[in-house]
Structure 1
């Protein structure tokens, strides 16, 4: 098989498929990325990826190339390129998907299966299927959305919680299903749930799942806003409603909100596509989901400024976290980095740290001060702001930390710390939606 696009999705998919026994060529237009992967060095941080990349390369089943012609001879071609937010619009930018398919066409053979994994607006698969049919290559298209969680992508690829195939009707669909069953034979043998459906449903599965998760996060953050003006504790509220099996406790953690390269741009693109289809009102609530999410970032900034014992422009603020979530170096649309940048813009002397995200954050915002050491980040701080709940931040000894800062004030932007322990150590503790 070939995997077109060796970014986060493609590099993980190519490595995992080779580790499962398939012969894989990963293709990308970026020579530096291909050079790193060929040397068994992932171009991003993802737990477990270096190990399976090294193992797959050593087996001889995995190789990488910048030449799309090397895809020729593969039975299955996965499209795993990015679909970023279009500049000046909420819509998804489809240039990379379209370019990948166009480049692949001359190298397709009868019976080949092109498999889309990228997150795309509904209707994309049908359009691309027409392009492939019109090429006269005898190849067909399927859509197989990914459900990777950053930090757990390897496990989610090797042992997915479900598989979805969007296939054409008739004999072409039967062949597509059979080929994908071969690709995912290991997962299917482990009784992984499988849904075989049409193109549009497969496309909607991914964006609707992300929309639901984003809605759940913004719901509890909306409750945090009410808790802050009523004196309630949103953490206990979440525990109480989470016992309801219809609701569940997962993704009911109030805080600074969601970010990364998927949820924010996917819900915006979903809204834009619904409007194009004349059904914008059906997902109009997602605009408020997005607005709530962005408000929580501002709330952390405002709370920090309010908490400071001196003017913000004379204060040092220690920022714990830059990546949008733990176990990732991804700072795309990161709430943590956004908070740091906003506080810097208000004149604070911001010093930030993160176990993996410093290099990517510095590339985007070199104006901030970065420290590898938590100790140096905290030293002399007038306030500490926790915005990414890395284990090494959650387990900081509050007594040790109190001896480093100038003023023991902490804003827990993830409600991840033991408020009682921090207050007992002499800290003024602020959570979101907590008394």
Structure 2
């Protein structure tokens, strides 16, 4: 497959020259986001990079002269592009075509080329100084963070490191990132490539000191509840000096069942009813407990907040990185993520509340709730939250998944959104997109 990546650009040019001379039709599928978007810094300014894969289908016809005979040909191509955005305004800046997959034998007169690259994927790995490491299929690449120009490919890595010649892994899972490209070679040795010279150095995973195990008063280790995998919603916060929980009734009852203090010490262990949970605010009352030689705080009871708003799948906006709740100021308060509906037609929303837990504004985003394959991701930049996710919609019994980039002002909820699926298919001019306006997606809702 690496040989296909190395030849992809040349093959794409050859196919274009052959097909476009008599091209009768071209269709592009919506771009698919590959892996996690990456927020990088260029000249000290944030830049959001997104790796996408887009399928192109071409139908061409030749002939049709005096004998009225013609030949129809069908080609399928898969383009991998690196797209850059100004995150605060959700504005596309540039796009770089990195690789195109197609049938290596496409230059023949076959009526239908083989489909090559449909199962291929890619991922952004991380930023190292002025370049960004990524992988497409099993091939590593480094590109300029400024404009996406390819700086390093597999051939350059092998040329700079004879010990890696012929030993680069044939599976993407053997690549990683640690302030440079991490490679586990085919002989199982681990290397890291850092700096402009690309010199491979032996790599050892950094030691992560394990947190000290909590102990009981008698010196025995305390059993800590297992933390769920993935992003854990935060549903408890201190607001204006009060401990406030955001729970459905069954979740609140489970939180109040806290004889050993685990629900207070480890809030992630409280029952989570998921997408169908109708959550409102509760005052969390705590009290000390003396049990033999141990003394600890536990949740004594929860009291519903009168007149509390109800949020479907509500949870607090977090201060990233970490698990602390993001506090609002001028006026003080908090932010809550929630859903507009519990089914797959629901949209992600963000509401700001004051210290009396009264909503000040709500912004409904043109994207669906988090999913396992394509979770919603967000960043906090200069009093704005920048969000990337997919909007899943069913249109005429067909499911459409369109990636959206959204920027929300945290002071007043003003929203701008950009639909990546509406960018022009010609990567030479990605900024010519339909005009956007505040409060709506470029999809032309």
* TM-score between the two structures when normalised by the length of structure 2: 0.23
**Greater helix fraction, Structure 1 or Structure 2:** 1
Q: Which has the larger radius of gyration?
A: 2
Higher relative contact order (CA 8 A, sep 6+): 1
**Greater strand fraction, Structure 1 or Structure 2:** 2
* TM-score between the two structures when normalised by the length of structure 1: 0.23
